[in-house]
Amino acid sequence: MPCGSGNGSGSGNGRCRARAGAAGRRGLWRPFALSPAFPGSPHTAPPLIPANVRRIGAVPVRLRCDHHGQRPADHPGRPGRFLTRGGPPDPERQQEKQEQMRVTHEAPLAPLTTLGIGGPAAALIELYDPADFPEFVALAGTFPGEAVCLGEGSNVLVGDAGCDSAVLRMNTKGVRMAGSTADGRVLVEVQAGHPLADLVDATVAEGLTGMEMLVGIPGTAGATPVQNVGAYGQETADTLVEVTAWDWTLRRKVTMDAAACGLGHRTSVFKRSRRWTVLSLVFALRRSELSAPVTYRTVAAALDVPVGSRVPLDEVARAVLTVRKSKGMVLGCSGTDDRSVGSVFLSPEISPAQADDLRARRAPVNRFPDGSIRVSASWLIRQAGFELRRPIVTGVRISSLHYTLVAEEGASAAAFTRAIDIVFQEVLRRTGVRLTSEVDFL
């Protein structure tokens, strides 16, 4: 059960009623409390939590900032947070701890996703304190099926009937500098629920290169290894050192190095299995005033520099954000296209012969870090005759800015799934290339 939901999110299916696709702040020391049943629910918050699960550890987790274990929390330009153990709780902290882990029965999931589609979860469990994860494990066992993990819901399509299993929303936050490697790279540790956009902004402000091209991608840090999130020449595999995860088979916490994560083009062992839930990650970034080489023509054009140039980190971040906004790929930048999961389809892998044929047709064909040769899915959709704003099925159309699918009033998971299939079939018929959806179905 990988966690997170970025431009690629891990979310196991659990035992769902219907599966689409087959038809920080300080002082976060709060234990969970059962919330009332959601209005309209036939339940009235039944006593699902075993007695031993009600107890939260006596020692709270205290958040403070640190920089390489040396600088104080308020050091300018040092946004990292450092999780450490605090002393005995005082009454004020105990009161704060009352809302740490929340449980809501029959909770609608649609508002928690960027598509705004789907039915309810039997229970939604919101986790804020990493130390409370064992309590979630115990609670999840009281529901049928395997638990499902949800980050920001930016790459998820929830089935219309919802899900019978427990859904974990990972809201753990915190970033800290965790030393350095032998070759001088800075180690950055981040909690799985930390927003990816905030992490990227922090590393750019800190003068660390390795993530600047990922600016504007929604979702959580925990989603990055699941999908091997990447954009404009950078991807998670470039900088990931290790992942700490809960292993549902071994029933314990494990640490996995980058090689064990099996990172490929928008995939990983977490994407292919529900065995693990990502809890925290460590990245290795280099100190530099300049970005990685700009390898994409659109970004280079926005900067008015030659391809291959290196420019100040903040400048390349602004340029990438401008390019993403022009395509409607930044949440909140388009009032008409915001119900989106970004790219619905992966850039498909093609053979050398196909690559030669498509290059002759001026298709954007690129070789990726995993050695594969791929062509732009957006280009294929356009070549298949789809136009911007074109309705596909009721409630689903092509975006007005980019060749991807967006939802509108009246959309359903079943309709969105039909739209995916219609685009797939037409692209295959017109171009001979098979698309693959990168949406996580819950």
Q: Which residues are catalytic?
A: 266, 343, 438
Task: Specify whether the CB–CB gap between 315 and 323 falls below 8 A.
Answer: no
Q: What is the 3-state secondary structure (H, E, C) of the chain?
A: CCCCEECEECCCCCCECCCCCCCCCCCCCCCCEECCCCCCCCCCCCCCCCHHHHCCCCCCEEEECCECCCECCCCCCCCCCEEEECCCCCHHHHHHHHHCCEEEEEEECHHHCCCCCCCEEEEEEEECCHHHHHHHHHHHCCCCCCCEEECCCCCEECCCCCEEEEEEEECCCCEEEEEECCCCCEEEEEECCCEHHHHHHHHHHCCEECCHHHCCCCCEHHHHHHHCCEECCEEHHHCEEEEEEEECCCCEEEEEEHHHHCCECCECHHHHCCCEEEEEEEEEEEECCECCCCCCHHHHHHHCCCCCCCCEHHHHHHHHHHHHHHCCCCCCCCCCCCCECCCCECCCECCHHHHHHHHHCCCCEEECCCCCEEECHHHHHHHCCCCCCCEEECCEEECCCCCCEEECCCCCHHHHHHHHHHHHHHHHHHHCCCCCECCEEC
The radius of gyration computed from the CA coordinates of the chain, to the nearest angstrom, equals 22
Tokens for 285, please give them: 């970034």
